[in-house]
Structure 1
Amino acid sequence: MRILLIEDDLRLAETLAEALTDQRYVVDLVTDGETGWHQVKTMDYDLLLLDVMLPELDGISLCHRLRSHGYNLPILILTACDTISDEITGLDVGADDYVVKPVDLQKLFARIRALLRRGNATTLPILEWGELRLNPSTYEVSYNHTPIHLTPKEYALLELLLRNGRRVLSRSVIIEHVWPSEASPEEHTVKVHIRGLRQKLKAAGAAEDLIETVHSMGYRLNQLG
C-alpha cells in the first residue's frame, strides 16, 4: 500500500514517514500542496495523509481540487486546528477523516487501516495463495500455519505479488510500488529481495518456485497445483 504524506513540518513528516514505513506502507513525502498535486497526478496512491497549513497550496484547497477533478483516493487530514468548524470544513470539501495534532500514532494507524478497508472494499481481508497467507491488518505471514518473518520490503513485495496473482510484474513496476519515489533502487536490488523472499518461503515449507521468474519479463506467483 502506497501513501502520499504532505506535511511541511520536516521533523514531524520524517517521524510519520518512518513510523508508517515500519507499518509496511510505502511512503512518499512532499512538503507543499502544489508538489502534492503534481505527485497525485503522476503516481497511484492508496491514501493521502494531508496537513492543512501548507505553503503554495493549503490542504483544504488541495482536497477540494482533487475531488473536483475526480480523484477518489481516501484523504485523511492532519492538522493542529481542532475546532468543530475546521473539522466540518475539511469534511465538506471531501476529506474522509480528520486527525488532530499532536498525533497519537496508534490511533492514526487505526484510522488509516479503516480508510483503506473502506476505499478498497473488494480486497479480501486475508490474502491467500494455496497454503500461503498474508493478513494486511496484522502484517502476519504464514505458510501452512508456519509464521514467516519478513523485512518491510519483503512484506511489501509479497503483498504486491499476492494482489496480482498470475499477472507478471516487471522489475520497474515492482520498484514503483514497493520503493518510495525518491529512493528508487537499481533493478538488480529487486532480484536480491526476491531471492531473500524465496529463501524464507522455502524454509517455511513452500515450493522453491512459488515465485516464478518469467524470463526477460518479471515475476509472478506460480500456478497452483
Structure 2
Amino acid sequence: MRMLRPKVLLIEDDERLGAITKELLDDDYRVTWVTDGGSGRRELTTGAYDAAIIDRRLPDMDGLELVRMLRARGVSLPVLMLTALSSVEDIVTGLDDGANDYVTKPFQFKELDARLRVLLRGSAANQRAYAIGDWTFLAESEEMERFDGTRVRLTAAESALLRVLCASPDHVFSRQELLAAAFHPDDVLGTIDTYVSYIRQKTAKDVIVTVRGRGYRIGTPEE
C-alpha cells in the first residue's frame, strides 16, 4: 500500500525562490505553489493540505492575514512563515496571530525542511494516508479524500474495516478474518458485506475489491 507524501501549500511571490523551494521540497512532499495571497486564500479554503509555508510580504496582502483567517475558522493547519522581517517584535506578532514557526530570509533549505518536518510530526494533520484508486484514506481523521480534494466522513466501523484491509494490501481477507479484526465476534458475517457496501456508496466500487469465492481486498491506485 503506497503511503502518500504530505501535501504542502507554498505561498511565495519571489519567482526564483518559489521555484527553487518547490523543486527541493518535491522529493518529500506534494507541493502546490502560488504567488499571491488571493490564490493562497482560495487554496486554503478549497484544498486539503497538511501544512502551509507562507511568505509574510505578499504583493496583495500581509501573509498573516491568511493565518488569521485560518485561526478564525478554527483551522489548526500548521503554518510556517517566511519573512525578511526579523525583529523580535515581528516574530512575536506572527506567533501570537497563529503562525506555528518562523524562518527568516535568507535561509538554508535544510533549516526550512527540518522545521517543516517538526511541524508535521507534531500535527494531527500528519497522519497515515493510503492511496486507493482515485481516493486517499486518511486513517486518523476517518475520512476519504478524492483526487479533486472532496472529502467524505467515515464512521468508526467503516474506518476500522479500511484500516485492516490497508494494513495488508496484498492479502485477500475472508469475511471471518475481517469480522474478527474489525468488528465484534458475535456479529454476523453479513456485517462485512453491509459495511463494504456503505464504503462503496460513499466513494467508489473499486475502493474495495471483491475476490469471488474468497472475500475482499483493498483496491490499488492502478485499478
TM range (shorter): 0.5 to 0.7
Structure 1 residue 121, shift from structure 2 partner? 7.7
Decide whether the 8 Å contact of 1:168 with 1:219 is kept in 2.
no
Determine helix, strand or coil for the equivalent of 2:9. strand
Match of 2:52 in 1: 48
Q: Amino acid of the residue matched to residue 76 of structure 1?
A: L
Structure 1 residue 40, shift from structure 2 partner? 0.7
1:37 counterpart = 2:37? no
Write the distance in 2 (CA, Å) between the matches of 1:208 and 1:77.
Answer: 38
Decide whether the 8 Å contact of 2:137 with 2:144 is kept in 1.
no
CA RMSD between the two structures: 3.6
Match of 1:2 in 2: 7
Write the distance in 2 (CA, Å) between the matches of 1:65 and 1:122.
Answer: 21
Determine helix, strand or coil for the equivalent of 1:39. helix
Decide whether the 8 Å contact of 1:52 with 1:78 is kept in 2.
yes
- Deviation per residue, 1:71-111 (Å, 9 max, x gap): 21001001111111111111011000001112211111111
Q: Give the stretch that moved more between structures: 106-115 or 3-12.
A: 106-115
Structure 1 residue 6, shift from structure 2 partner? 0.4
Structure 1 residue 168, shift from structure 2 partner? 10
TM-score by length of 2: 0.59
1:68 counterpart = 2:72? yes
- Deviation per residue, 1:147-184 (Å, 9 max, x gap): xxxxxxxxx848x867559x9978xx24659xxxxxxx
Decide whether the 8 Å contact of 1:168 with 1:218 is kept in 2.
no
Write the distance in 1 (CA, Å) between the matches of 2:8 and 2:170.
Answer: 31
Decide whether the 8 Å contact of 1:211 with 1:219 is kept in 2.
no
Q: Amino acid of the residue matched to residue 63 of structure 1?
A: V
Match of 1:15 in 2: 20
Decide whether the 8 Å contact of 1:60 with 1:93 is kept in 2.
yes
Q: Amino acid of the residue matched to residue 9 of structure 2?
A: L
Determine helix, strand or coil for the equivalent of 2:26. helix
Decide whether the 8 Å contact of 1:78 with 1:101 is kept in 2.
yes
Where structure 1 has 5 or more consecutive residues not aligned to the other structure, the ranges are 128-155, 178-206
Identical positions, percent: 36
Write the distance in 1 (CA, Å) between the matches of 2:109 and 2:172.
Answer: 34
* CA shift in 2, pair 1:103/1:210, >3 Å: farther
Match of 1:57 in 2: 61
TM-score by length of 1: 0.59
Match of 2:95 in 1: 91
Count of aligned residue pairs for this structure pair: 159
Write the distance in 2 (CA, Å) between the matches of 1:157 and 1:34.
Answer: 30
Write the distance in 2 (CA, Å) between the matches of 1:41 and 1:56.
Answer: 17
Determine helix, strand or coil for the equivalent of 1:120. coil
Decide whether the 8 Å contact of 1:33 with 1:55 is kept in 2.
yes
Candidates 110, 115, 126, aligned match of 1:111: 115
Write the distance in 1 (CA, Å) between the matches of 2:144 and 2:85.
Answer: 43
Write the distance in 2 (CA, Å) between the matches of 1:54 and 1:117.
Answer: 28
Determine helix, strand or coil for the equivalent of 1:34. helix
Indicate the structure (1 or 2) with the bigger Cα radius of gyration: 2
Where structure 2 has 5 or more consecutive residues not aligned to the other structure, the ranges are 1-5, 151-167, 174-199, 210-216, 219-223
- Deviation per residue, 1:34-72 (Å, 9 max, x gap): 221111111111101000000222112221222122221
